[in-house]
Every structure is written in structure tokens, then in C-alpha cells.
Chain A
């Protein structure tokens, strides 16, 4: 094992996959010598050259379109939206072209592309650079959606995403980039579609993903001190959801809260809650709680920004409420 950052983990995955398969290439705005908006691709252009690490003008829509065309032609593009918010400019090509190509053509070709999406708030970047739009992507059949919470997952899921024959929307939380974690020295891949029980517990289940998992872990440590044992499920993949892992945990605890930074309305929390109502209703001892972002655009002010998304204290309070029911 070695200790590296989330950012380094992603870079290692990209580099290893590019060495393994010459059809893998990177494309995006400022991903070359500049190293990408958050430094993930730093140095890769020196290692692989401008033929495989390709800088583009600020043209999000055609980057996504080109990647789709390259993917159906046999290449494996990994493209970067400098901020995941800019996916709005790519949506036609992702939703109408990439996601539907395999289906509409009755599998005449597949679309092995990865779209990297630096997401989330906490950096003071304001309403157009801080959103969590993962639920949009889960609403489109044909896409797979992943969101690693730590360096180990970032590397293993990126390798799986690149090897997957479908378009994978790969969310990366901006606050996670500099987080440190253990990663095996040897090659490994984390399968898409499998959640991970991050922490075992008996009293409540916390279902979360991305950076919010870290907040759940800290909240769980505090809760333990007052005798509440929380089980934390790190979804890793948001579509397709690992329903079995969630349901099995809820069967054990009977109390569940879903924690995410994305706004509550139309968020993953609602979907998971509905699945549990349909498939695990009789095991529930209390109503399902959604601890989610407020239904507001992300504001600039640090105080306001923090008030918009679940903090550790909010998670703890919710857990206590859940135990009282």
C-alpha cells in the first residue's frame, strides 16, 4: 500500500490505462501543459505527447460530440469538463447522441467514453461552478454514473470506467482532490455497480456518495460516543444502483438516512427512498430521511455556502432524530 491523493490516484489510473491501451486518449480544455483545471492531468502530455493528451478550444459541445464519434469508431476517449457545471453545454451530445447510440442502432456500435466531472461546492466559486448535477445524469438510460469518495475508489473506478464499453459520467469532488488515502501498489479495478459498506453499524444506515461519505464517517465517529452505531454505505456507482446492498443494510438497521450535497428535490435521495418504500417497507422502524442540499443555487459567501449543504453537525442531528422515532 502507498499513500497518495485523490488527484494522484486519478492520474495514475489515466496513465496506467493509457499505457495498457493505445486507444485511450484524453481531450479537453487546458488538460495539456496546464494540467487540467484541478491539476489531474499534470505531466501526462509530457509522458504521452500531444497526440494523446489533446488540448482543445473552449468548445464543450463539440468535445463531447467528438468523443462520442471517436468512441463508436473504436477509440476510448476520456474527456474533461473543467467544471461539471459546463456539462450543460455538452448535454445534447451526451444525452441525445452518446447515451442513445447503442440503443437506437440496435448495438451496431458501443460508446466507451468517460466524461470527467469536477463537481460540488466549497470552493467559493459561486452558482455556476459549484453544482452537483449527478441526478440529471442518472435520469438518462444509456449512461452509467460513478462518484468516488476517496483515492482508492478514484483509481479503481477510473480504471473500470475506461474499460467499460458504455458512456460513464465520472464525478470527482473538488474538495476531495487533495485528500489522502491508501492505494494498493498492485493493479486493481473496482467494478461499476457495486456499493461498499464503508463502516459497519447496527442502529442506522447512512447511504451516501462522493465527498459526503467523509462527512458521514466523521459524524458516525461522534455518534459512536453517544452510543449510536451507524452503518455507512458508500454507493460508489449512482447508476446502476446497487439496490441489494442498501436493502440488506436497512433490513438490519430499520432506520435509514440518505446524505448528499445535491439539492433535495429530484435528487438521488428521493429515488433511493422510493426503492426502499417499494422493497423494504416492512423493515422500516422510522420514516426515511433525506439530508440533502437546500433547493437553492450555491451562493458565494462562505457562510451561506456552508449553510446550503449538509455539514457534519447536520448529519449527527439527523441521526439523533432518526433514533428517537
Chain B
């Protein structure tokens, strides 16, 4: 489906939701209102949301530990997302998962994963089931650049390739695995080259350009849906935020480097596109921002006012009946 004005507005709405949500999370973590840790995807909104918007009913996705943007892209309700971050019984995972395990199976979200590359097996298995029952669906397997250095990545690409599984490996190359820049972690300049070694086609795109992400991912998803086997997309983007809440000093990169990427901010770029093409005016965009902020504030209240899970829950979910 081509990118209609309506779809562009939805995409903008979701990107703003992810950004404002994460800015709020950052603030709440700084004020010690939240337990645990979190990995923010500020700067990667075009990648995660543009990619998710190409999926249709019955498609699935496996997410990374940097997953809030992807969750919003897949339609997770901010109320339940926040309640999970607060560890409440109303959360998506009843408080058992937290930020690194947000999951929403009924919306095709097979969960974020605390293990780098941990979604690879789940993605292949979900795709195998589609293949087994001859369903015309695909699985989008989100990965970071770091995951492509894990052994499982190479086993997964090879197996998906020889079994012709409907997987879109969507690599958000944000250039950092915690503190290690991709220039230090691999000799290839493009992660796409790694796919070619397994007989898998690859696409490299500007991950900070939402329109580009959507259009190119959409064709890739079509290619996979038509039974051509897996594909790999390398979405080149940048992790503007630190690795996690404990990454304060960021001695491994320069302010100039960060600033250069902030200048390519995906939300600003989409705003410019929307205004230039008369999809909406600045008043309308401002309204979206206000409305989203209100929703998030309301969601925070919902989360704060929810109950902690009772200890009875501990033995309830370890084994299925």
C-alpha cells in the first residue's frame, strides 16, 4: 500500500508518541521514580515506526532491548506499556517483564528481548509456523548492529535462507553496541554485506528518513510475503541517548558526532516533509504534540495509580497447564 497522507500523519503521531514517552521515561529515571533500567531509542523513531507500519494483520515482530519505539510502532497501548515500566499488575506483562521484555502477543508483538539477538530464534520459529501452515505472513526481526556479531545471527541467517523462511531481518544500525562503535566491531562497512554471504538480499536505507524507511521496507516485506525467502534491511541511524540510564559520561564519543546526528533528527525531517507537501500545517502538528503529551501524562497517572502485583502471581505463570 502506498504511503497516503493519512498514513504519514499516523506515522508522525506514533513517532511523536515514542519521543515524548521516552523523554518522559528519561526524566522519571533521573528522578528515581522508576526501578531497574531502560534503553532509549531517541533518534531511531523513523526506523522502528516506519518499519512496523509496513506490517499487516497476522504478521509478527520480535524486538530488541531498545524496544519502546518498536512497541509503539506495533500499536502497544501507552497506558499498559507505562504500567509495565512501573512494575504494576496492569502492565502488559503483569509486572513480570519490565522494559526489556515488553510483549503484546495479540498485536503480533512477540516481545522485546534482554539477550542481544535473542529474538532471532523466536522470529525464525514464528516464520516457520507461517511456512508450515502456508500462511501469507511475515515476521519482522528487529536487531541492532551488535547482534550481528553474535553467533546466533549467522546460524539464523543461514537457516532462514536455506529453508526460505518469511523473515525480514531489520537491523537498526545505530552505530553503537554500548560503547563500541561499528568501526571497531566489524571490518565490513555495511552490515548488508553479511546477508549476502548467506544468499540473502540486502537493502541499505537512511534510517532517519521515515518516508524512505516505510517505502523501502514495504517493498522488502512484499518480496518476503511473495515467498522469496528472507531479506535483510540495514537501517543506518544513530542512538542519540546513552546506552542505558547508567551511561552518563559517554567518553566513547564526541559531542560533535552527536550534534551532527541530532541535526538529522527523524521527527524534524518528517515535519519538514509534511509541511512542504501540505499534508498538515504547523498548527495541526502542534495539536498532535499537545494531544500526545496529554495521553502520556494520563498514562503515567494510570500506571502510578495501579496496584503492585501480589506475590501469588509468582507461581502462576512459570508453567502452563
**Smallest distance from the beta carbon of B284 to chain A beta carbons, Å?**
37
Contact present for B123 and A69 (CB under 8 Å): yes
Contact present for A142 and B121 (CB under 8 Å): no
**Smallest distance from the beta carbon of A136 to chain B beta carbons, Å?**
18
In this assembly, does A57 line the interface, its C-beta being within 8 Å of a C-beta of chain B?
yes
In this assembly, does B105 line the interface, its C-beta being within 8 Å of a C-beta of chain A?
yes
A56, A62, A70, A103 pick with most chain B CB within 10 angstroms: A62
Task: Tell me which residues from 270 to 321 in chain B have a Cβ below 8 Å from any Cβ of chain A.
Answer: 313, 316-321
Q: Which residues of A contact B111 (CB under 8 A)?
A: 101, 104-105
Q: What CA separation (Å) do A64 and B321 show in the bound complex?
A: 22
In this assembly, does A220 line the interface, its C-beta being within 8 Å of a C-beta of chain B?
no
Beyond A57-B155, A166-B320, 7 extra complex contacts between A and B, CB < 8 Å = A62-B155, A64-B121, A73-B125, A102-B318, A108-B105, A109-B105, A141-B318
Contact present for B122 and A72 (CB under 8 Å): yes
Contact present for A71 and B159 (CB under 8 Å): no
Contact present for A106 and B126 (CB under 8 Å): no
Q: What CA separation (Å) do A104 and B313 show in the bound complex?
A: 11
Q: What CA separation (Å) do A153 and B298 show in the bound complex?
A: 57
In this assembly, does A110 line the interface, its C-beta being within 8 Å of a C-beta of chain B?
yes
Q: Which residues of A contact B129 (CB under 8 A)?
A: 69-70, 73-75
Residue of A nearest to B60 (CB): A73
Contact present for B101 and A92 (CB under 8 Å): no
Contact present for B320 and A165 (CB under 8 Å): yes
Given contacts A62-B120, A97-B121, contact A106 B317 (CB under 8 A): yes
Contact present for A25 and B159 (CB under 8 Å): no
Q: What CA separation (Å) do A69 and B131 show in the bound complex?
A: 13
Contact present for B93 and A106 (CB under 8 Å): yes
Interface string of B149-172 (1 = CB under 8 A from A): 001100110110011000000000
Chosen A-B contacts, 18 in total, with CB atoms closer than 8 Å, are A57-B159, A62-B120, A62-B155, A67-B121, A70-B132, A73-B60, A75-B125, A92-B152, A97-B118, A104-B103, A105-B93, A105-B103, A106-B96, A107-B316, A107-B317, A108-B93, A108-B106, A166-B319
Contact present for A165 and B321 (CB under 8 Å): yes
| Residue count of chain B within 8 Å CB distance of chain A | 43
Contact of B320 among A56, A63, A77, A107 (CB under 8 A): A107
Contact present for B103 and A108 (CB under 8 Å): yes
Q: Which residues of A contact B126 (CB under 8 A)?
A: 69-70, 72-73
Q: Which residues of A contact B156 (CB under 8 A)?
A: 62, 65
Q: Which residues of A contact B (CB under 8 A)?
A: 25, 51, 54, 56-57, 59, 61-75, 77, 92-93, 96-97, 101-112, 141-142, 144, 165-166
Q: What CA separation (Å) do A105 and B121 show in the bound complex?
A: 17
Contact of B94 among A102, A106, A110 (CB under 8 A): A106
**Smallest distance from the beta carbon of A143 to chain B beta carbons, Å?**
9
Residue of A nearest to B132 (CB): A75
In this assembly, does B69 line the interface, its C-beta being within 8 Å of a C-beta of chain A?
no
Q: Which residues of A contact B318 (CB under 8 A)?
A: 102-103, 141-142
A71, A108, A109 pick with most chain B CB within 10 angstroms: A108
Given contacts A72-B122, A106-B96, contact A66 B317 (CB under 8 A): no
Given contacts A59-B159, A69-B110, A110-B320, contact A103 B96 (CB under 8 A): yes
Given contacts A92-B115, A104-B101, A105-B97, contact A142 B110 (CB under 8 A): no
Given contacts A62-B159, A104-B93, A105-B97, contact A72 B125 (CB under 8 A): yes
> Which 6 residue pairs are nearest across A and B when measured between Cβ atoms?
A65-B121, A69-B125, A110-B320, A70-B125, A73-B129, A62-B155
Q: Which residues of A contact B118 (CB under 8 A)?
A: 92, 96-97
Q: What CA separation (Å) do A97 and B129 show in the bound complex?
A: 17
Q: Which residues of B contact A112 (CB under 8 A)?
A: 320
In this assembly, does B128 line the interface, its C-beta being within 8 Å of a C-beta of chain A?
yes
**Smallest distance from the beta carbon of B160 to chain A beta carbons, Å?**
9
Q: What CA separation (Å) do A101 and B120 show in the bound complex?
A: 14
**Smallest distance from the beta carbon of A100 to chain B beta carbons, Å?**
9
In this assembly, does B200 line the interface, its C-beta being within 8 Å of a C-beta of chain A?
no
Task: Tell me which residues from 166 to 218 in chain B have a Cβ below 8 Å from any Cβ of chain A.
Answer: none
Q: What CA separation (Å) do A74 and B318 show in the bound complex?
A: 18
Residue of B nearest to A71 (CB): B125
Q: Which residues of B contact A93 (CB under 8 A)?
A: 121, 152
In this assembly, does B124 line the interface, its C-beta being within 8 Å of a C-beta of chain A?
yes
**Smallest distance from the beta carbon of A186 to chain B beta carbons, Å?**
26
Q: Which residues of B contact A71 (CB under 8 A)?
A: 125
Task: Tell me which residues from 79 to 130 in chain B have a Cβ below 8 Å from any Cβ of chain A.
Answer: 93-94, 96-97, 101, 103-106, 110-111, 113-115, 118, 120-129
Residue of A nearest to B95 (CB): A106
Q: Which residues of A contact B320 (CB under 8 A)?
A: 102, 107, 110-112, 165-166
Contact of B128 among A70, A101, A104, A105 (CB under 8 A): A70
Contact of A66 among B115, B159, B321 (CB under 8 A): B159
Contact present for A59 and B105 (CB under 8 Å): no
**Smallest distance from the beta carbon of B122 to chain A beta carbons, Å?**
4
Contact present for A65 and B132 (CB under 8 Å): no
Contact present for A105 and B105 (CB under 8 Å): yes
